[in-house]
Amino acid sequence: MTRQEKADQVKNFLDDRFGLVDCFLKHKTDQEFLIAVMLSAQSNDKSVNKVTPILFDKYKDLAALSKANVDDVISIIKPVGLAKTKASHIIEASKIIVDKYDGQIPKDREVLMTLPGVGFKTSGVVLGELYNFPYLPVDTHVERVSKFLGLVDKSLRPEQIELKLEKLFKNSCLINTHRQLIMLGRTILTAKNPKLDELPFSWIKKS
């Protein structure tokens, strides 16, 4: 069985099981979403969704956040972890976007990645979610799931996996497929005790 055939079966299962999946990070504006994604690095959506309403209630936009006191921001975002580094990054990134891009999120991945705290995955999530760019960002869930299902080689890095998955799922809404794969990783193909009996794929050994 080819990887494309496996991917087609996986996509059918994802559509049947999860359908259209809502964005995991709560936000009201593009600016809020960028900051939320930056805060989610090495954290979880639940923690981020708890702190962002507090952060955005005090700092209404990037212009306000660019002038924020770093210690105050650290105290607000502490639950997400790496608070000192993230506070510095989101304040500095806010300054750059306000000063250089008139408060608009750059719609170029390479440009976006020049911002402090914005890497390959973060840029893909932001552009995919906000502007429907054809990216399928790879987090720990997507990496684990895609390797387990045999869609990509186990030696590949996240950036390489993304390119492979974008080709395999090119006929789908890639950002929703990204969310579906995360849901698969959170509910069925969990890191510990995966529920293999719930998978209908003939190439997966159940025992």
DSSP string for residues in the chain: --HHHHHHHHHHHHHHHT-SPPPSS--SSHHHHHHHHHHHTTS-HHHHHHHHHHHHHHS-SHHHHTT--HHHHHHHHGGGS-HHHHHHHHHHHHHHHHHHHTTPPPS-HHHHTTSTT--HHHHHHHHHHHH--S-----HHHHHHHHHTTSS-TT--HHHHHHHHHHHTTTS-HHHHHHHHHHHHHHTS-SSS--GGG---TTS---
Active-site residue list? 121, 139
